[in-house]
Amino acid sequence: MEKVNGIGGVFFRARDPEALGAWYETHLGVNQLNPMPWKQREGFTVFAPFAQNTDYFGNDEKQWMINFRVDDLAAMTAQLEAAGIAVETHTDWDSEVGKFARIHDPEGNPIELWEPTAPTA
């Protein structure tokens, strides 16, 4: 059976696509198509539909949440906070798979940041 080999894009509506795209590039390093699409390092990707009534996204009106892998969550958190971006953390979010934090883009979309636990041999 043929299977997909990764996510080729994440597409969503925005009130101001140019400004929102610039925010993602400035604060998270995710560039759009200038001059090439954002290139990711290989790694795990979780694909997980949630129940319609989940409170995990933090806002019942939001239909999606993206999760970005990061190398150093503490450094990323400090960088975002220095830029005036609120970062939410809860120790109960952290688990055997890694550490997590949550931010929101300027349009209120939830973004989860994930520092995976280093694999053990």
Q: Domain containing 112 — which CATH number?
A: 3.10.180.10
Residue 12 counted as domain residue: no
Q: What is the pLDDT of residue 7?
A: 78
Residue 2 counted as domain residue: no
CB-CB contact of 113 with 73 (8 Å): yes
Which three-class secondary structure state does DSSP give residue 31?
Answer: coil
Give the pairing type, strands 110-116 and 98-104: antiparallel
Residue 3 counted as domain residue: no
* Rounded mean pLDDT, 95-106: 91
For residue 67, what are its two tokens? Answer: 């999760």
Residue 121 counted as domain residue: no
Residue 58 counted as domain residue: yes
Q: What is the pLDDT of residue 121?
A: 55
pLDDT band for position 32 (cuts 50, 70, 90): confident
pTM: 0.82
